[in-house]
């Protein structure tokens, strides 16, 4: 679950993800 | 006045800001359902996570951001996420909401186990943002400026970040002049809020510690 992720993990994952258009 | 290039930068940042926001279902959940303290806590964590994801999507659209060193991108986002989150939340509390909504939200935050000493400065900040009667453009630009702060910890190429921040600052300065001709201090006051945000950011780190403990 997201609550187990640290801030940096969330940022790294979101940066890698595709931009939703 | 804004040059065509500056107008384009403003439009681009504003569009990205409007496009990337917390999904409405999640915002509705905050207002409609009754939760225990523990559930409030979990819901706020879920909100915060979504906030960060939305923030990253917005940041990717800031012209030049993706050309920065990858680790510097992460350092900027890490350093500013909490401040950007407070800015966005301030908007929620300063908007005209249907009767009673802001009270429900405030109650939920107050009943999430966060100690009063952290809650009060937060709501004071929301109030001080409300007093500035900011336009959506100012919110979008100020958020971009916060993210593009070259002095965040672990940023290697500060000059590259400055080169991105300066034009946005200039657009905000000019925008304030044209939109608030009777408030010559508007730009300076907006920058003052950034200082206040830094203090909140610092408090937030302490707050998380106290939350973890309890």
Tell me: the pLDDT tens digits for B99-109?
Answer: 666 677 777 77
Among A5, A6, A14, A17, which would you mutate to test the B interface (most chain B Cβ atoms within 10 Å of its Cβ)?
A14
What Cα–Cα distance (Å) separates residue B143 from each residue in B136, B193, B205? 11, 11, 20
**What ipTM goes with this model?**
0.81
Q: Is A19 close to B56, i.e. CB distance below 8 A?
A: no
Alpha carbon of A1: minimum distance to chain B alpha carbons (Å): 9
pLDDT band at A21 (very low <50, low <70, confident <90, very high): very low
| B152 φ/ψ angles, rounded to the nearest 5 degrees | -70, 150
Give the pLDDT mean for B48-70: 94
Q: How far is CA B69 from CA B61, B76, B110, in A?
A: 16, 11, 39
Beta-carbon separation of B60 and A2 below 8 A = no
Average pLDDT on B171-189 reads 95
**DSSP code at position B152:** S
CA pseudo-torsion sign B131, B135, B139, B144: negative
The rounded percent of chain B whose pLDDT value lies above 70 is 92
Contact B77 A20 (CB under 8 A): no
Please name which of B146, B124, B143 lies closest in space to residue B134, comparing C-alpha atoms. B143
Instruction: Please report the pLDDT score of residue A5 as a whole number.
Output: 61
B57: nearest CA partner in chain A: A19
Residue among A2, A3, A11 whose CB faces B77 most closely: A11
A7 touching B (Cβ < 8 Å): yes
CB B176 within 8 A of CB B190: yes
The residue of A4, A5, A7, A18 whose CB has the most chain B CBs within 10 angstroms, and thus the best one to mutate to test that interface, is A7
Total Cβ atoms within 10 A of residue B132:
20
């Amino acid at each position: 679950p997201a609550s187990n992720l640290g801030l940096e993990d969330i940022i790294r994952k979101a940066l890698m993800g595709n931009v939703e258009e | 006045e804004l040059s065509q290039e500056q107008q384009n930068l403003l439009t681009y940042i504003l569009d990205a800001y409007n496009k990337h926001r917390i999904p409405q279902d999640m915002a509705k959940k905050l207002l409609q359902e009754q939760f225990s303290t523990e559930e409030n806590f979990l819901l706020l964590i879920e909100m915060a996570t979504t906030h960060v994801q939305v923030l990253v999507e917005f940041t990717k659209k800031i012209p030049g951001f993706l050309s920065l060193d990858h680790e510097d991108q992460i350092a900027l986002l890490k350093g500013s996420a909490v401040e950007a989150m407070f800015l966005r939340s301030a908007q929620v509390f300063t908007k005209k909401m249907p009767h009673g909504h802001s009270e429900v939200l405030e109650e939920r935050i107050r009943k999430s186990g966060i100690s009063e000493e952290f809650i009060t400065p937060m709501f004071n900040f929301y109030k001080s943002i409300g007093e500035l009667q900011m336009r959506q453009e100012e919110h979008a630009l100020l958020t971009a400026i916060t993210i593009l702060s070259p002095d965040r910890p672990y940023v290697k190429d500060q000059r590259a970040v400055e080169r991105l921040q300066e034009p946005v600052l200039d657009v905000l300065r000019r925008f304030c002049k044209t939109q608030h001709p009777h408030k010559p201090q508007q730009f300076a006051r907006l920058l003052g809020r950034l200082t206040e945000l830094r203090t909140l950011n610092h408090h937030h780190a302490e707050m998380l510690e106290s939350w973890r403990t309890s």
